[in-house]
């Protein structure tokens, strides 16, 4: 089934897959996160078209397997019309209205930055606090790959200017790949982690929505 929660879709889908496995409703779950932003980018809007890229990611959820253990999931939504997609390529069959603005991705970038840079650290710090952890205890933060300035500002609130190496970026290789971005960062920046290390995968975007996964490396 589909899970459409904007750029947070991957995190929300992982939570549902994890719950299904934990409850015994499934022995194994596959979460697929395909993203085709080029199909709904508005090439007349500077706030959207130049930042987007197409990509896909997938995650296998199984019980009692080595790799990354899902310790906790935090899902948050706060209504905002500052970033949205009213259907994208799924709703563009009428040639006469195919490129109307209401069929394409839209955002007010400055307002999104202002709101998200406050909301995301609050969600992550609250989640860590429930487990008696602080951002300094986290080895890696895999954030939604929106833009470098936004992630840098979030990182500074979490770990200060000297902790930016905890927040890997893949934007220079992939651009903003929506819900796939945080998973691409995870895939490319986890091989140096050791058993017991803690990481946070946090996706955020339209809605606003935030999906934060507290992860621990296992044997």
Q: What is the DSSP letter of 170?
A: -
Catalytic residues: 7
43 within domain boundaries? yes
pLDDT of residue 88: 59
d(CA 41, CA 47): 10
Q: Give me the CATH number covering residue 146.
A: 3.40.47.10
> CA 192: distance to chain centroid?
21
pLDDT in tens, 58-106: 999 999 888 999 999 999 999 998 988 776 566 667 778 777 887 888 8
Token code pair at residue 17: 């897959």
Given this model, what pLDDT does residue 90 score? 61
Decide if 29 is inside a domain: yes
Q: Tell me, what's the pLDDT at 132?
A: 98
Q: How far apart are the first and last CA of the chain?
A: 32
Write down the pTM of the prediction.
0.92
Q: Let me know if residue 199 belongs to a domain.
A: yes
Lookup result for tokens 């939504």: 77
Closest CA to 65 of 32, 19, 28, 20: 28
Tell me whether residue 3 is in a domain: no
**Does the residue 1 lie in any domain?**
no
Whole-number Å distance between alpha carbons of 188 and 47? 27
Top-confidence residue, 187 or 46 = 187
β-strand partners of 76: 210
CB atoms within 10 A of CB 94: 9
Q: Which domain holds residue 168?
A: 9-217
**Is a pLDDT exceeding 70 seen at residue 125?**
yes
Out of 88-92, 121-125, 188-192, pick the least confident: 88-92
In-domain check, residue 195 = yes
In a domain, 2, yes or no: no
User: Is residue 23 classed exposed, middle or buried when 0-12, 13-18 and 19+ CB atoms within 10 A define those classes?
Assistant: exposed
Nearest to 58 by CA among 142, 209, 183, 159: 183
- Write the CB contacts of 192 (distance below 8 Å, at least 6 apart in sequence): none
Counted domains in the chain: 1
- At residue 119, does pLDDT exceed 90? yes
Which residues are CB-contacts of 19 (< 8 A; sequence separation ≥ 6)? none
The answer, yes or no, to whether residue 214 has pLDDT greater than 80, is yes
């Amino acid at each position: 089934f589909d899970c459409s929660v904007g750029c947070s879709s991957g995190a929300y889908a992982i939570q549902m897959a994890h719950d299904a496995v934990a409850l015994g409703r499934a022995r194994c779950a596959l979460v697929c996160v395909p993203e085709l932003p080029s199909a709904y980018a508005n090439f007349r809007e500077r706030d959207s078209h130049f930042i987007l890229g197409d990509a896909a990611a997938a995650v296998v959820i199984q019980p009692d397997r080595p790799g990354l253990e899902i310790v906790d999931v935090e899902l948050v939504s706060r209504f905002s019309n500052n970033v949205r997609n009213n259907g994208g390529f799924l709703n563009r069959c009428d040639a006469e209205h195919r490129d109307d603005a209401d069929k394409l991705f839209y955002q007010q970038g400055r307002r999104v930055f202002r709101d998200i840079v406050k909301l995301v650290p609050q969600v992550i710090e609250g989640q860590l606090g429930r487990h008696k952890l602080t951002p300094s205890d986290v080895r890696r933060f895999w954030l939604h790959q929106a833009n470098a300035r936004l992630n840098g500002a979030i990182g500074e609130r979490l770990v200060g200017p000297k902790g930016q190496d905890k927040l890997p970026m893949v934007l220079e290789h992939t651009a903003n790949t929506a819900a796939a971005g945080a998973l691409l960062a995870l895939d490319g920046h986890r091989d140096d982690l050791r058993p017991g290390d803690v990481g946070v995968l946090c996706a955020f975007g339209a809605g606003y929505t935030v999906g934060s996964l507290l992860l621990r490396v296992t044997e």
